[in-house]
Amino acid sequence: MSTAPLAPRHAIEDVWSYPRPPLLQRTPNLLQVIWTAPDGTQTVLAETDKGYRVCETSHPPTYYLPRDALRVAIDKTGKTSFCEWKGGATYWKVDTPGGAIGNRVWSYEKPTRGFEEIKGYLSFYASDGQGRWKCFVDGEEVGVQEGDFYGGWVTKNITGKMKGGPGTWGW
């Protein structure tokens, strides 16, 4: 059973009200990653209502989906990164209908204390970088957190100036 608190559903949230260190929350929302082919055909790459989100000051939420939400194959890439709160991240290549896309999905295989519940869960950037996959929260297409380092999903209920864009690295 999860010990993480349940996230509010569709409440207006200011990213500056999120804590630091970040907060891990279960989310009741339907999370989807959908691929759209050039002919308009759509394929669900991942879908769940059993995800988590991480909320950190000045960032839109980052969502984590369980592995069983995936409907496509993944393989590790050689890329890694480190989060001072969650630990070492492993990056993945996703086999999409349009070919393999690497390093746009990550997980924490050995997360730090307080984030154990997302061990092995996968987080997708809100876009594959070319607009072929899109992410959704309860059917709402999410916006992309500025920059190419952070992976937050921006929904219409998330407000406030967000880290990631030009001039925000020193925050």
Distance from C-alpha of 29 to C-alpha of 126, rounded to nearest angstrom? 16
H or E element: which one contains 46?
Answer: strand 42-48
Whole domain around residue 31: which residue ranges? 13-159
Which residue type occupies 66? P
Domain total of the chain: 1
Do the domain assignments include residue 51?
A: yes
Please report, for the domain that includes residue 131, its CATH number.
Answer: 2.170.150.40
Residue 32: other Cβ atoms inside 10 A: 22
Report whether 27 contacts 7 (CB < 8 A).
Answer: yes
pLDDT in tens, the chain (171 residues): 677 889 988 899 999 999 999 999 999 999 999 999 999 999 999 999 999 999 999 999 999 999 999 999 999 999 999 999 999 999 999 999 999 999 999 999 999 999 999 999 999 999 998 889 999 999 999 999 998 789 999 999 999 999 998 889 777
pTM recorded for the entire structure: 0.95
Do the domain assignments include residue 6?
A: no
Do the domain assignments include residue 134?
A: yes
Do the domain assignments include residue 165?
A: no
Do the domain assignments include residue 164?
A: no
Do the domain assignments include residue 63?
A: yes
Report whether 52 contacts 44 (CB < 8 A).
Answer: no
Do the domain assignments include residue 167?
A: no
